Amino acid sequence: MEQIEFNYPAKRKVLKRAHVGVVGSGDLEVLLEPAEGEVAHVFIRTSVDGFRDTWKAVLDRFFANYDGAARIQINDAGATPGSVQLRLEQAVEVSER
């Protein structure tokens, strides 16, 4: 298991927390909560070591469209980048519903 952290700039407050997904094979769990200040903090625990660059690429793309000040925890059981992207978008959808 590898732990990876990233920070991204944020512009607006997140009002509601959201929990989606499950730590099942090829899937992941996302916990999205409001954070203080103008920063989004991502904390990842993944069962597959050595993919830091791939995580960064996925998150760079996600944060190109998302500016919420969120604390995002990801518990990953080997999800593909596509699945990660979809779960993150789902978490945002739930938190803004």
Give residues in contact with another protein (CB under 8 A): 1, 17, 19, 22-25, 27, 29, 31, 33, 45-47, 73, 75-77
User: CB count, 10 Å around CB of 74?
Assistant: 24
Token pair listed for 35: 């954070």
- Shortest distance, CB of residue 22 to another protein, whole angstroms? 5
Return d(Cα 13, Cα 61) in angstroms, integer: 20
CA 70 to chain centre: 9
- Shortest distance, CB of residue 72 to another protein, whole angstroms? 12
**Between 9 and 24, CB nearer to another protein:** 24
**Between 15 and 64, CB nearer to another protein:** 15
**Between 22 and 39, CB nearer to another protein:** 22
Q: Where are the alpha helices (DSSP H) in 1-80?
A: 52-65
